[in-house]
Structure 1
Amino acid sequence: MALRSIRAIDYMTKNPVTVKPSTSLFEAIDIMLAAKVSGATVLNDNKEVVGVISEIDCLQAILKGTYHGEIGGTVKEFMTEEVDSVGTDMDILAVAELLIKQKRRRMPVVENGKFIGQYSIRSILNAVKEFNLK
């Protein structure tokens, strides 16, 4: 079995960290710190991906707020709205190539317009590790 034949969906993170656009900036930071992740997918009430929020986004928001004398706000104000997502039919190497090419740590997986999980660098590394143990 070649690594290319490994289905990425088998290594997708099914319950990754997510937040809503209305989540406060500091609550999002607390959620990411508690989960030990560097970012979260932002979902609307219909489980559709509307953005991502990263540690960098949060740090920029804090610095901007410090300069203007007001720190805080919601995820919607600071999230990145342009989000690439992928479907469920990719092999593991295609996902790895996409993450590297687009310089992403994670990518949402969408099926029928709804968020179902995410691929991450960590999930790809776990797949490779498991493959090499076989």
Structure 2
Amino acid sequence: MAIKSFQGAREKVKKEYNAPLLVEDHMMKSLVTFSPEQSILEVMELFIKHRISGGPVVNDKEELVGIISEADCMKQISESRYFNMPILDKSVERFMTKEVETIPHDTSIFDAASVFYKSNRRRLPVLQKGKLVGQISRKDVVVAALKLSSQNW
């Protein structure tokens, strides 16, 4: 004889998903930024002081105008040696990368992972209404995925 359940029909439980899925929830918000007028020598000193390898270049309206990296500084060092001149106080604007790939703040981390997969970028500046609001890295996306691993995607 079969055992009969006396619980009755169960109500279907709808799972609510409220884990943060957007880039803005996982991005780094406090950044070391540079201005186009800063000297390349000062930038190199700040790289060492803050233990970073690059950073966004913003104008006085907090709009992203470029990225300066150690590789850009290598160009200055190389030119200085070639022309047998000391590193001068040349501006960041001369050496920065002006064409910068960015990502919107309201992009999902899954779409961000796809962008990182398709490009060779390690980090991307995050923009909201044309203004720099943060930066997301490949590592930030991996950490976000680990946090979400207990959730259903």
Larger radius of gyration: 2
Q: Which runs of 4+ in 1 moved over 4 A?
A: none
Q: What are the residue-to-residue correspondences of 1:1-134 with 2, within 5 Å?
A: 6-70=21-85, 71-72=87-88, 73-132=90-149
- Kindly indicate which of the two structures has a greater share of residues assigned to helix: 1
Structure 2 unaligned residues grouped into runs of 5+:
1-16
- Residue matched to 2:9: none
How far 1:133 moved relative to its partner?
Answer: 7.1
Equivalenced residues, count:
132
Give TM-score scaled by structure 2 length. Answer: 0.77
Structure 1 unaligned residues grouped into runs of 5+:
none
* Mapped partners of 1:100, 1:65: distance in 2: 36
* Mapped partners of 2:119, 2:92: distance in 1: 23
* Mapped partners of 1:133, 1:54: distance in 2: 37
How far 1:8 moved relative to its partner?
Answer: 1.8
Q: Which moved more, 1:10-19 or 1:93-102?
A: 93-102
Q: Which has the higher contact order (CA 8 A, sep 6+)?
A: 1
